[in-house]
Structure 1
């Protein structure tokens, strides 16, 4: 695919520098990816520059859920509830392999609470119009314990259940970017914007190729700031421009407030939940446990964070808080010694004075000016496509009429629609290993056909790399050739989630995976060794912090 290999990446960067582009997007997370796809589908000449790997910030470190909007009823944001529900349905159409249904269970300690939860979900369903099989159910105490036998039964009156959807956030970002590239966008990772200046055509942007290709200048008629946690940093590069429409993106105060969410992973055999279960958090913050394959992860969100957004680390009090919430909800809950993986990330929210992080709206805000700039802050994973539509409408106001109409709500992402996937699956030969065959199609959608084909031509590439059943040599080669993997961290944290979900196993496989990457990318021994050492140091550090309770970041 154009632009999605190491060589294609450099070609895209040079092509972007040779042309006058309609729009340059700063940021390759889910927001920037959605904007790039939307703008490219509408026929604009699009460049996206990401300073690191795609989705290397917030967009690979979410709770990996496509929320339907139930939680936003508490904030009274009816419009956001409706939008989230609609957009979840869109995602199920355009990328069904990235929206896996899962039951969410909300335990209630009193019958009055059970009635209140049921009423809230009835209201949600009136607004969202879910399919019949996704509607909520009210369960009594016995039925609840049949589903989740380890729930503490002492104060349990019953529960309500409804359907949420689990995703791979980094793959959703990646497939959106691949779709943008397929529509003509130049999409470039490890390309850092260092300077923005006025130009007769609009803007000239200095971009540093962090893969050693030097500095280039890219000209565009409009720049979109979709930098997420780095929003204010990019906004600071706008300083030489005067004049704006509406609220200015060059105001001196910080627009974004960062909150940190941490995730603790244990083996499912140690925490055998079958549902996403909301935990009894002592202060009412959102906390829940999510089953995923052989793992379950415990989640908290919304603690204010000040520090480096690239690696926010763990806070000892947050780890303790999560484990205590699990112990308050379940018998024989896991302890710190049971943790096998972790990840943490920051969410960029619009700063609202006097409000706690959990009280701040998840709505996005689009800022205009100064000059030919459009900026977006806030928002949420579920509604990224609709956010992109609104941003590109603003871009159109800056650059003029769009070349063509498009409907991003119906165009499938790179992995194909359900019909596309069924056709590709039927046409492909089955692998001798049914479990591997099934996992590849569930992970990659229609792109699995390429990996399956390679395995059939070269059976040795089906062997697990470093003993990892979830990663084969054929997949690594596919990721290098079609997913722009440029580092060991790209591979093990974002194309595969093994470093997040099973850190010890990823550490053990790091050397084997790095040697496979070295063969594909032409690394010498020193580069290979540096990749392995850096990966092990960072990931082992995070896991050690979780297990020992030592803080790796500032606690609020």
Structure 2
């Protein structure tokens, strides 16, 4: 290890700031372990912000007989809805049905299982509906007259990661973004790591190392000297965003001739999110993943098979892609590879090492709980699990305990906030409430009028929010704010990112000048 730089002694070093790493850091910190998490980029910059934005059991996984995964995910759907009702909300799905698709009896059987594999406290069950009775009905082609309806949930995936990391920090964890684990060495009792970040090198001595590096988990495991990793199958999933295709707040599950399904989801008011693809990804650079023209064409064709309005690649206003690190279980197609997670526990070579492979956003909390159930006793810390009975930051609308009331009465809670902040425009209040929940009070702690929000840096983004995101949520760049902390990137005019980056530069210069003055 080098001679210079900050030194930190901790119990657990987590490498990876996606949903699994943030979840493990949160759970471990809540059990009294000293935790450091490092992420080489921004939180949720890669796979964890490139999902379909769903908390769901995975209806299609029933066809692959992954009943255990579906049961686990359905149970977690209920837990997460109640723990973060501001960023997670119920979503009703419609599956249009016509001749030539999966037979109706098969779909009914699958939906019956979906309704009953795990307890369902407050979400409505499945059933058949007439499309002519729904606002979205006219948007579909006339060959569709009926649809199967069922329930799942929507999530702001990037904010979910940030809130898990925020909870971890508030419970004592150290969260280091833009900080790469450059070197790591294993000893008999501890790991020694050099973390390279914007403020120099941090030397960490940790009693346990957690490899939650996602698509990089295999290469990082090799860097630890712990030997070859379980084979990973890198699968690219891509999405497109187009102008809104249908009215109403329901979503669609669209069956495709190749047996796959594609989601069409209401998105940011004016748009529809369409995805996902599943293609094997063989490229070496997982830092710069992008949708291919073939994937864009596939998703456009999926829309055109079902909706009256046709879309072409030129209609796409935004797209994103992420690489999922799935367990290589030798299935033929990328879409059939298991989304479940597995751990590799290694204690034979010295200090404990836990590597995480696979997983999905929906099961992150359970994954983290099981990971810390192993880590804690290994380090002599026997503390029971706790996250199933705790809200994420901002989710405590009706008390600290997760309750269905917070989901069912979210709109009533917002109406109360509207009375409290009557000076705030309705659209802005709605976005703040969805993003920050009860942390809205901290965001607006010193604001009494619209003028108190400060400069409107770009449309819809005021200085008070941008400053909050820097101070509280690790935002360092325009992309951090426009695409991960918010989705304002879809709504602002060209050049907005440059204006926001200029604001960041001015803020840094001001901070540096203030520091030099004090020195």
TM-score of the aligned structures, taking structure 1 as reference length: 0.82
Select which of 234, 250, 271 maps to 2:220. Answer: 234
Give the match for residue 295 of structure 1.
Answer: 271
User: In 2 relative to 1, CA 58–206 (structure 1 residues): closer, same or farther, beyond 3 Å?
Assistant: same
Q: Partners in 2 of 1:101 and 1:141 — Cα distance? A: 20
Residue 107 of structure 1 and its aligned partner are, at CA, apart by 1.1
Matches within 5 A, 1:71-90: 71-90=60-79
- Is 1:492 equivalent to 2:479 in the alignment? no
Q: Partners in 2 of 1:491 and 1:142 — Cα distance? A: 40
Residue 411 of structure 1 and its aligned partner are, at CA, apart by 1.4
Give the match for residue 281 of structure 2.
Answer: 305
Residue 255 of structure 1 and its aligned partner are, at CA, apart by 2.2
Give the match for residue 120 of structure 2.
Answer: 130
Give the match for residue 472 of structure 1.
Answer: 462
Matches within 5 A, 1:148-297: 148-154=137-143, 156=144, 158-199=146-187, 201-209=189-197, 211=198, 213-239=199-225, 241=226, 250-251=227-228, 255-268=231-244, 272=247, 274-292=249-267, 293-297=269-273
- Is 1:412 equivalent to 2:401 in the alignment? no
Q: Partners in 1 of 2:471 and 2:102 — Cα distance? A: 56
Give the 3-state SS of the residue equivalent to 1:329 in structure 2.
coil
Residue 426 of structure 1 and its aligned partner are, at CA, apart by 8.8
Q: Partners in 2 of 1:397 and 1:237 — Cα distance? A: 26
- Is 1:452 equivalent to 2:431 in the alignment? no
- Contact 2:8–2:202 (Cα < 8 Å) also in 1: no
- Contact 2:423–2:450 (Cα < 8 Å) also in 1: no
Residue 142 of structure 1 and its aligned partner are, at CA, apart by 3.8
Q: Partners in 2 of 1:104 and 1:190 — Cα distance? A: 38
Select which of 373, 377, 393 maps to 2:373. Answer: 393
Select which of 310, 313, 329 maps to 1:352. Answer: 329
Point out where structure 2 has 5 or more consecutive residues left out of the alignment: 400-405, 407-412, 512-519
Deviation per residue, 1:310-350 (Å, 9 max, x gap):
22112111111110111011112222222111111111101
Give the match for residue 544 of structure 1.
Answer: none
Deviation per residue, 1:59-104 (Å, 9 max, x gap):
1111111113323212212221221111111111211111112221
User: In 2 relative to 1, CA 434–282 (structure 1 residues): closer, same or farther, beyond 3 Å?
Assistant: same
- Is 1:120 equivalent to 2:110 in the alignment? yes
Residue 376 of structure 1 and its aligned partner are, at CA, apart by 0.7
- Contact 2:14–2:209 (Cα < 8 Å) also in 1: yes
Deviation per residue, 1:332-369 (Å, 9 max, x gap):
22222221111111111011224311111111000011
* CA RMSD of superposed structures (Å): 2.6
Give the 3-state SS of the residue equivalent to 2:276 in structure 1.
strand
Residue 281 of structure 1 and its aligned partner are, at CA, apart by 2.4
Residue 149 of structure 1 and its aligned partner are, at CA, apart by 1.0
Give the 3-state SS of the residue equivalent to 2:205 in structure 1.
strand
TM-score of the aligned structures, taking structure 2 as reference length: 0.88
Select which of 355, 380, 386 maps to 1:375. Answer: 355
- Greater per-residue helix proportion: 1
Give the match for residue 543 of structure 1.
Answer: none
Deviation per residue, 1:459-484 (Å, 9 max, x gap):
15366433x23x22221111011111
Give the match for residue 7 of structure 2.
Answer: 18
Q: Partners in 2 of 1:101 and 1:313 — Cα distance? A: 29
- Contact 2:124–2:150 (Cα < 8 Å) also in 1: yes
> Bigger shift: 56-65 or 126-135?
126-135
